[in-house]
Amino acid sequence: MNYEELVPVMRRLAIEAGRKIMDIYNSDDFDVKLKSDDSPVTIADEAADAIISKGLSAAFPDVMLVTEEQAESHKAKGDTFLIVDPLDGTKEFIHRRGDFTVNIAYVESGVPQRGVVYAPAKDRMFFTQADGQSVEESGAFDLDTVGPLAPINVATPNNAGLMIVASKSHRDQATEDYINKYAVKDSKSAGSSLKFCLVATGEADIYPRVGRTMEWDTAAGHAVLLGAGGDVVRFDDHTPLTYGKADFANPFFIAYAPGVDLKTA
């Protein structure tokens, strides 16, 4: 994969999809349906997926594409692919809380190498550049002109007082029990893949996820965190979280800044 070609395409498609999502978000009303697994889906999910899938397929026709909204793509097999969650945080979108993102990533040999996370309601955009360094873009988010870029890097954690971020919609007792193993300076909640990005920018030190996620939920944020010097490991044995699993389902995991003294379950 030529990353010099890939990154601008992913960035542009994320912005395009984000604009469409915000058109619907700011409308008076929108329909909410339930998928076969009882998770919600809106016309925004579907419209964003159409934009991104069409764009990626046109630009990289020979690369396997996996996207949340196309069940047929979940049958794909391999460890190198493009993976999309066109609207991560649908519950946040439905309740108009703003913590939703557009996620696009490229996975190679089971590792998310490049990714973009765009939060259109919060005017925040994170992506990995072609050279692998993660950045946050500011400005108008123009389709063809990249705005000011600031390199992002994880913080140096203080294990005597850690900054922890956890899921806004799935913060349960198991999560609280694990967080309580640490000395916590501050704890916040955030939706969607923004949690990875808060660790990547140093706004948090650790994000534990004790709950079900799919690879399309995590790949883009994982790539951004890797490009900022962070890491993501399995909750059970602290080995790297890898991609291309048979059903694209993740085990529980921990995203963190190196230097955090990880606790066992």
Query: What residues form the annotated binding site for Mg(2+)?
Result: 68, 85, 87-88, 217
Residues facing 186 on adjacent strands: 163
In the structure encoding, which two tokens stand for residue 187, read together? 């704890």
> What does the alpha-carbon distance between residue 130 and residue 41 come to, in Å, rounded to a whole number?
32
**Alpha carbon separation from 168 to 187, 219, 263 (Å, rounded):** 11, 19, 22
> What phi and psi values does residue 197 have, to the nearest 5 degrees?
-70, -30
Give Cβ neighbours of residue 108 (< 8 Å, ≥ 6 apart): 1, 79, 80
Output b/e per residue, 153-173; b: 16+ Cβ within 10 A.
ebbebeeeebbbbbbbbbeee
Q: Please enumerate, by residue number, every residue annotated as part of a binding site for substrate.
A: 68, 87-90, 217
- Assign 107 to helix, strand or coil: strand
Q: Which strand (E) or helix (H) includes residue 33?
A: strand 32-34
Residue 39's nearest CA partner among 102, 79, 5, 89 is: 89
Q: Please enumerate, by residue number, every residue annotated as part of a binding site.
A: 68, 85, 87-90, 217
